[in-house]
Amino acid sequence: MSHRVNDDSSSTWETTPPTGDGPERTTRFSTSKPSSSSRSSSREDDPVARFSKKKAKKKQPFWKELLVIFSVALLLTVVIQTFVARVFVIPSASMETTLHGCTGCVNDKVLVEKITYLFRDPQPGDVIVFRGPPNWTGGKEPPNFMVGTLQDLGSMVNLSEPSGTDFIKRVIAVGGQTVECCDDQGRVLVDGKPLDEPYLNFGGGPRQQDSFEKVTVPAGKLWVMGDNRNNSSDSRKHGDPTPADGAIPISNVVGKARVIVIPVGRWGSISDYNPQTGGK
């Protein structure tokens, strides 16, 4: 008996009985692989194979992808600036040298966060950004939300001027406290006690400040002043019709200035040294 297997296309099994009496009988059994056409037909008839052929997804045009990316970025910017934090440009020298905003220098851009004042009111020493009341802005109305956002974004890359209705100053006293200037050493007094203000800038000159009469800060308001004390238009200058009207409403506070983000060489946190407690 012999067995023979052919490669690939067919298999033949041949049996030849031993020689002897009786007729010679040969039994032949062969199997062949189905042709390619029959395999193809079988796959087409198979519902699993048919449904597994998924149509390739068409790629979106580049301009559509760019539009989606821009829209998402703009939405995130608006949400973050509205509820979390925002970057402001310092356009004046009133907070020198804590913050730069002088002619001929690169104005500081500061990160102002809005979360802190959801849980507490501003405290003495905090550097805050606020919307100027009418007696601060000369009656100028702030821009609407969309215009203001675009204007602020443009000012960050020096493509537009800041809105002109937002200000940045340091909190000196809060509602119910009295403020006056000055004692015999030229210091501001709050509730009759002199302030410790190491951040003050007098441009290298004598430490002298413009005097003003005692003012009681109304409830719900803040008395704010610039660190560049003799070059700052602050609560002392906007007391109209009464000196107490120079205080700004807490409801106008946008947030607390935390970090200088631009220029790179001035990266760092912004001190909230409390002048009433000596920083404690």
Q: Which residues are tagged catalytic? A: 94, 169
Taking the chain, what is the end-to-end CA distance rounded to the nearest angstrom?
Answer: 107
Tell me how far apart the alpha carbons of residues 154 and 194 are, in angstroms, rounded to a whole number: 42
Pairing of strands 178-181, 166-174: unpaired
Tell me how far apart the alpha carbons of residues 137 and 114 are, in angstroms, rounded to a whole number: 23
Largest CA distance in the chain: 145
Beta bridge partners of 128: 169, 256
Tell me how far apart the alpha carbons of residues 251 and 232 are, in angstroms, rounded to a whole number: 22
Beta bridge partners of 224: 171
231 CB contacts (<8 Å, ≥6 apart)? Answer: 93, 94, 96, 203
CB 199 within 8 A of CB 187: no
Tell me how far apart the alpha carbons of residues 138 and 159 are, in angstroms, rounded to a whole number: 25
Beta bridge partners of 171: 224
Tell me how far apart the alpha carbons of residues 227 and 182 are, in angstroms, rounded to a whole number: 16
